[in-house]
Amino acid sequence: MSTGTDPLAPLAQLPGVPDAVAEVRKAVDRLYGHRVMRRRAAEVTSESALRGARASAALAGADWPLEEVRRRSDFGADPEARTVGAALRIAAEAGQLLSIWRHSPLQVLARLHLLAVGDGEPSAGRPRRAGEGVEELFPLGLKPVESVEVAQVDEPLPVLPPAPGAEEVAARLDQLSRLLVARAEGQGVGTPALVVASVVHGELLALRPFGAYNGVIARAAQRIVLLAEGLDPKSICPAEVGLAELGTDAYRRALAGYLAGTPEGMAAWIAHCGRALRLGVRESTAVCEAMQRGMV
């Protein structure tokens, strides 16, 4: 497809993006070639969903140990528990929504929000209206894990702009939906999956279309795109884990680049998403190695 018919195609040519795309493709292919994937792929998918949900909840303010998430069955007791429960419910159903996503992404986003807040919430499944508030995207500061090297930046953390108004949100969501449906119909198929997923992720964080759980929903939508685009067809690459391991400061700085809309900012955002995805691959590779040694 030419760049004239695919609005995302120029992003794939920004400096550093082709390398990020190639590195992600290589890492994902290596994981899919692991011996454990021949026999226990479904188990790897389930574990990836659990670990991704735990990480997404941590980014949303509920940083629970993995074993606590695995052990618990009651997620309605307090705000942190509800956040973990929301992330788990979304992770459990996201992969089943692929067929709907292809022709109605907005319907899937509404479903994800309903799963997060529960059908007893009056705002469940609908974008926020004029005058309604929106939760903070980064309520908890997560430090990078020791095994991940993150560039030190002397500049203060950027202050993210307020969420757009309801009318702008509706218009941009419609534009995003049209773009994704066109891709499902065969238009713009040349743009790499990493680029498409990064744009969907970034746009949903920028819009914050719902009153709550926008980060969890945006990260789930990225995972659905990676599934839909064929890069991660078994959904075994939990990019949420990588985003958490890189820390919220780096996440915020990268998002500020997306919001700025400059070539440098967009390239930095896509590269950040790519690195997070590779760290998710590392997580699932470790799961496969543990399964191969009989530890799982």
- What tokens were used for 166? 């309801």
User: Which of 59-68, 69-78, 146-155 has the highest average model confidence (pLDDT)?
Assistant: 59-68
Closest listed residue to residue 150, CA positions, set 275, 22, 16: 275
Residue range 230-248, pLDDT digits in tens: 999 999 999 999 999 999 9
pLDDT at 188 over 70: no
Based on the number of CB atoms within 10 Å of its own CB, is 164 exposed (0-12), middle (13-18) or buried (19 or more)? middle
Across 183-200, average pLDDT: 89
Residue range 237-280, pLDDT digits in tens: 999 999 999 999 999 999 999 999 999 999 999 999 999 999 99
Query: Quick one: residue 24, left, alpha or beta (phi over 0 = left, psi -120 to 50 = alpha)?
Result: alpha
Q: Residues 55, 241: contact at Cβ < 8 Å?
A: yes
CA distance 88 to 53: 5
Q: Give the pLDDT of residue 277.
A: 98
CA distance 193 to 201: 12
- 13 DSSP assignment: G
C-alpha neighbours within 13 Å on the C-beta side of residue 157: 12
pTM score over 0.85 = yes
pLDDT at 3 over 50: no
Instruction: Name which residue leads in pLDDT, 220 or 187.
Output: 220
Based on the number of CB atoms within 10 Å of its own CB, is 150 exposed (0-12), middle (13-18) or buried (19 or more)? middle
Q: In which element (H, E) is residue 246 found? A: helix 239-246
Residue range 109-159, pLDDT digits in tens: 999 999 999 988 899 999 999 999 999 999 999 999 999 998 888 889 999
Q: Residues 227, 44: contact at Cβ < 8 Å?
A: no
Across 180-196, average pLDDT: 88
- 15 DSSP assignment: T
CA distance 194 to 258: 14
Tell me the pLDDT of the chain averaged across its residues. 95
Q: Give the pLDDT of residue 5.
A: 73
| H runs (alpha helix) in 208-262 | 214-228, 239-246, 248-260
- What tokens were used for 254? 């990268």
Across 55-73, average pLDDT: 96
